[in-house]
Structure 1
Amino acid sequence: MQQKNSLDEKVSKNLLLLEAALYVAGRPLDLKELCSVLTTRSKNKTKKYLKLLIQIYSSRKTAFEIIELKEDRYVLQLKAEYTHLVKKLVNRPLLSSGPLKTLSYIAYRQPISQKRVIEVRGQHAYSHVKLLKEMGLITVERSGRSLALRTTDYFADYFGLALETAIMKRELKKIFETEFKEEK
């Protein structure tokens, strides 16, 4: 009986650790990061705990859910049906309109040279690119003498878009078309 209790305590502790990590991160975490939280190298063990935590969240009446994303990544997030109800409580948007437009342009045209982004968006786009890179939304890679810009997996996860560039571009096109129609 003593052994069963200590086993239950270990399971409970590991579930709490995973839940805490997902909450504090505020972003998707990959299996490697979650294994390190449990101080184990066993991806299978960590996956079992995650599946159990997902089941627990599914069975509870809660506003949160844990989602398994592609490439063994997991995120704790607000369920979609509650987003519009609490949206007004968010103090400020993630990005102001200038950097957001620059990010949209990069996402839709990626991979794109920084030079081209500056030509289209203007000199202020240098500071936008710096900010977007610091936020982890884009990567900047040297491509010969110029810099190539593209979005990160974090960008795709944050905005709920596909990781694959071609699919992401189609999704963005639909979003832009919808926004354009609503503005008319």
Structure 2
Amino acid sequence: MQGNPHAAALEAVLMVVDEPVSAAELAATLELPQPEVEELLSGLAAEYMAEGRGFELRSVAGGWRFYSRPEFAEIVSRYVLEGQTARLTQAALETLAVIAYRQPVARSRVAAIRGVNVDSVVRTLVTRGLIEEVGTDPESGAILYQTTSYFLERLGIGSVSELPQISPHLPGLEDLAGIELEQ
């Protein structure tokens, strides 16, 4: 298979799929006959297995896709669980930004600023090690959160003072400091 431009094109397409793709779809994409694509897929799968690669090409759920080999499951799992590849949702990014710029801050204050409940998002950020509890608000007794050194490391900065300044030209920011919760 090495050196075969059709096999290389097939690999390129398979690298970007996030769910199994049928041989028929791949054939249509590559503008090749389906039997030829099926032969290429079987050949690539056999080649990867023979070479002992860290991944394999499998036919699953009516389609083809790359998977990590089962003997590396523990290593891959450890990598994923440490958050190395997991991306934050928009809600998590917004919540993290509020905490980063307003820290230490109570979850209820973050919810008031965002206008939505942030309980599960805060739990996710704590689990990922991006924020941590730093005490309680003396008036309300609410738990206060701040960013962690891991957060700074991931952003490549030394302290929160190095965060970019929020632009004074964004609408409504002048009211941000005045947002208070009703007690």
More helix by share: 1
TM normalised by structure 2 equals 0.41
Structure exhibiting the larger radius of gyration computed from Cα positions: 2
TM normalised by structure 1 equals 0.41
